[in-house]
Amino acid sequence: MAVERGAAVNTLVSYGSDLRRFAEFLDCATSAATPEDLRRYLAHLQARALAASSAARHLSALRQYYGFLYGEGIISDNPAANLESPRKSLTLPKILSEAEVERLLETAAARVRGDRDVKNLRLVALLETLYATGLRASELLDLPRNAVAGDQPLLVVRGKGGRERMVPLSGPARKALHSYIRALDAGEANKGSRWLFPSRGKGGRLTRVRLFQLIKALAAEAGIDPRRVSAHVLRHAFATHLLANGADLRAVQKMLGHADISTTQIYTHVLEERLKALVVEKHPLSLQQKQ
């Protein structure tokens, strides 16, 4: 998976863990497992009330593992060939309204107006970039220092599987990043770091956990339930708000770095649900029925 598909480290760790659990469940070597063994294992996962999405990942790990063994001639029959996938319920992504995102951004900007400290400028840069580009948290934090050079309108991002894509950078995001970088360059700390968002921690850059904490604290300050806000929720907001304002689904797919457009189509379901709710709440006939 690492060599042929360029799978991300987190994917490799998850699949490795799934296969180890399967091996512990079996009474025989994994190469000797039968279709019935695999069905018993999936039933075992279901009995433990494992989420359908997690069960589907376990099945994907088994399919790829046995597909590999079969392709290499290590086994003569593929026991995972005819296994059915568990049905996954449609889970719509959590999103924020445009007004709520504006409130977050304004709260961060108010901090800067009170104190142009590099940490306040960094927070504005993080938020503006997340909402302007729809980057994953890991993609944002992995940006090198030279990712923002001059007044270039695009960011080159390395996403899942090492695939690169170009994402437009809005004017406010560019302005916030340049203000932050000037303040960073003026200080003594983190000079010479290769990261755009350096830190004195072990990894040399801001961690996902710290980003999570910063966003939650800002949400509370803005009067928004922190449980509703995260870097990934801002990614969802980016996609949903673009589509709501007429963006092309294919363009949003490319900016998000989705390999399959079916992944991006979840945001059209969000819009459909919002439209249904709008009709129920605002249509004159609905209001008459309530009366």
pLDDT single digits (tens) 31-53: 999 999 999 998 888 888 777 67
For the segment 154-174, what is each residue's pLDDT rounded down to a tens digit?
Answer: 888 888 777 888 899 999 999
What pLDDT is recorded for position 289?
54
What pLDDT is recorded for position 85?
66
- Calculate the dihedral angle through the C-alpha atoms of 127, 129, 134, 135, rounding to the nearest 10 degrees: -100
Closest CA to 94 of 257, 230, 280, 276: 230
What pLDDT is recorded for position 2?
85
What pLDDT is recorded for position 265?
81
Alpha-carbon span 121 to 111, nearest angstrom: 9
Q: What positions carry a catalytic annotation?
A: 136, 160, 232, 235, 258, 267
Task: Tell me the two tokens of residue 206.
Answer: 């801001």
Do the beta carbons of residue 265 and residue 255 sit within 8 Å? no
What pLDDT is recorded for position 75?
94
- Calculate the dihedral angle through the C-alpha atoms of 171, 174, 176, 181, rounding to the nearest 10 degrees: -160
What pLDDT is recorded for position 131?
96
What pLDDT is recorded for position 86?
60
What pLDDT is recorded for position 288?
54
* N-term to C-term CA, the chain: 60
Task: Tell me the two tokens of residue 61.
Answer: 């790990």
Do the beta carbons of residue 255 and residue 134 sit within 8 Å? yes
Q: How many CA atoms lie within 13 A of 143 on its CB side?
A: 26
Residues of the chain with pLDDT under 50: none
What pLDDT is recorded for position 244?
85
Task: Tell me the two tokens of residue 128.
Answer: 């503006």
DSSP string, the chain: -TTTT---HHHHHHHHHHHHHHHHH-SS-GGG--HHHHHHHHHHHHHTT--HHHHHHHHHHHHHHHHHHHHTTS-SS-TTTTPPPPPPP--PPP---HHHHHHHHHHHHHHHHH---HHHHHHHHHHHHHHHH---HHHHHT-BGGGS-TT-SEEEEE-GGG-EEEEE--HHHHHHHHHHHHHHHHSSTTTT-SBSSB-SSTTSB--HHHHHHHHHHHHHHTTS-GGG--HHHHHHHHHHHHHHTT--HHHHHHHHT-SSHHHHTHHHHHHHHHHHHHHHHH-HHHHHHH-
Alpha-carbon span 13 to 28, nearest angstrom: 23
**Phi, psi for residue 231 in degrees, rounded to 5:** -60, -40
pTM equals: 0.68
